């Protein structure tokens, strides 16, 4: 599979929380060859089902893979003298916005700039302060009269960033959180096409994760899987971040462990990785993981979850950086895990 190509397409697509259509269209196309059914639910989750070959008489079992399709972004709040005031959708650090290029999704996509005042007219004491949202404007270079016809309050705004290939198989771009996870899920589904697996697999590109795991919550309720794996990105080691708070780049997925994770899910993921020599690492999450796993775990009567994190640098900036190999490894680990699911495991888990 062309991992880089798919990540590029997904990264360039826009899909701020609640507006994931463009991303979902690409995911649909990528999953179509590997899925038996495909549907979009009420909240915009894309759900692909690939049936397993469960033996006659055995109960139908299902595993859910969740990676979120949405990204953080901005939203038009007000038009003022030909400029656009905006607010945030999801956790955007306001400090990264100066001099950032964006796309305003008005009547048509409009390239824009979050402007910065030049140093010539910025007194030194002002440079010691952050520029708050109330002082920032998006400039699309279109005069007031026409702007008001093209852009409306509530239009979404995405970061605009070219996808770049860096040295050592790393790539950089926007929204790798969690398009990298989506790519891993697609790749896993493709790999499964060449493998036998007993359980049904629901691959879900979830919506609205960044505003509170809302897509995962409802899709898990609708699917009712026996177990689930969320795939998200983890804090890759980077300058300025404590080693204890991060995972290593180019060292495989981080398999999470903690209260949000079912212990046997963790153990089986680790055992699978070891058996097949998939590079991996462990990440301890003491409480809230901030991922879809957190929501899926408490759906209906409770669903055992696992969580894989793809190491990613500069999370929630517009230059998120990831190693392609880590995506491949994550996909492979999930596929091998799924191929290994059987009634023996179901029993050990205490599934009905």
Is 329 a binder of other proteins (CB under 8 A)?
no
* Active site annotation includes 209: yes
Q: Distance between CA 330 and CA 229 in Å, rounded?
A: 11
Q: Is 342 exposed, middle or buried (0-12, 13-18, 19+ CB in 10 A)?
A: middle
On whether the CB atoms of residues 315 and 172 are closer than 8 A, the answer is no
Which residues make Cβ contacts (< 8 Å) with residue 178, sequence separation at least 6?
67, 68, 69, 209, 231, 232, 233
Is 245 a binder of other proteins (CB under 8 A)?
yes
- We find the least distance from the C-beta atom of residue 116 to other proteins, in angstroms, to be 5
Which of 8, 61, 316, 332 contacts other proteins by CB under 8 A? 316
Torsion of CA 145, 150, 156, 162, to 10 degrees: -100
On whether the CB atoms of residues 289 and 260 are closer than 8 A, the answer is yes
Is 143 a binder of other proteins (CB under 8 A)?
yes
Complex with other proteins: residue 117 or 152, whichever CB lies closer: 117
List binders of other proteins among 270-299 (CB under 8 A).
Answer: 290
On whether the CB atoms of residues 253 and 328 are closer than 8 A, the answer is no
Q: Which is catalytic among the residues 71, 187, 209, 210? A: 209
List binders of other proteins among 57-96 (CB under 8 A).
Answer: 80-81, 83, 91-96
Taking each helix axis from N to C end, the angle separating 3-12 and 176-192, rounded to the nearest 10 degrees, works out to 140
- We find the least distance from the C-beta atom of residue 247 to other proteins, in angstroms, to be 12
Which of 40, 113, 133, 264 contacts other proteins by CB under 8 A? 113
Complex with other proteins: residue 248 or 276, whichever CB lies closer: 248
Which of 33, 57, 154, 240 contacts other proteins by CB under 8 A? 240
Coil, helix or strand for 295?
helix
Active-site positions read: 209
Enumerate binding residues for other proteins (CB under 8 A): 80-81, 83, 91-96, 98-101, 110-113, 115-122, 127-131, 137, 139-143, 146, 161-162, 164-172, 235, 237-241, 245, 249-250, 290, 313-321
């Amino acid at each position: 599979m062309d991992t880089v190509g798919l990540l590029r397409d997904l990264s360039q697509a826009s899909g701020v929380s609640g507006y994931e259509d463009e991303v979902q269209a690409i995911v649909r196309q990528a999953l179509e060859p590997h899925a038996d059914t495909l549907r979009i639910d009420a909240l915009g989750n894309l759900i692909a089902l690939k049936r397993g070959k469960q033996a006659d008489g055995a109960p139908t079992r299902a595993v859910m893979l969740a990676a979120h399709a949405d990204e953080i972004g901005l939203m038009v709040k007000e038009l003022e003298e030909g400029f656009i005031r905006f607010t945030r959708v999801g956790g955007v650090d306001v400090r990264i916005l100066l001099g950032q290029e964006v796309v305003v999704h008005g009547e048509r996509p409009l390239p824009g700039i979050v402007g910065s005042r030049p140093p010539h007219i910025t007194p030194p004491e002002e440079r010691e302060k952050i520029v708050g949202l109330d002082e920032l404007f998006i400039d699309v270079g279109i005069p007031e009269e026409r702007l008001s016809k093209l852009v409306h309050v509530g239009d979404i705004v995405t970061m605009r960033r070219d996808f770049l290939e860096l040295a050592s198989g790393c790539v950089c771009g926007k929204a790798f959180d969690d398009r990298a996870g989506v790519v891993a899920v697609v790749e896993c589904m493709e790999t499964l096409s060449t493998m036998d697996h007993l359980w049904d697999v629901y691959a879900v590109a979830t919506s609205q994760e960044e505003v509170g795991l809302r897509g995962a919550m409802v899709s898990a309720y609708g699917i009712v899987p026996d177990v689930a794996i969320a795939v998200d990105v983890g804090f890759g080691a980077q300058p300025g971040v404590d080693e204890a708070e991060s995972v290593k780049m180019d060292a495989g997925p981080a398999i999470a462990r903690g209260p949000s994770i079912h212990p046997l899910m963790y153990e089986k993921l680790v055992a699978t990785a070891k058996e097949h020599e998939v590079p991996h690492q462990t990440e301890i999450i003491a409480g809230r993981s901030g991922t879809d796993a957190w929501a899926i775990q408490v759906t209906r009567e409770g669903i055992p979850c696992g969580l894989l994190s793809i190491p990613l640098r500069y999370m929630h900036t517009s230059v998120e950086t990831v190693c392609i190999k880590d995506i491949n490894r994550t996909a492979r680990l999930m596929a091998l895990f799924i191929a290994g699911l059987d009634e023996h495991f179901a029993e050990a888990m205490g599934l009905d």
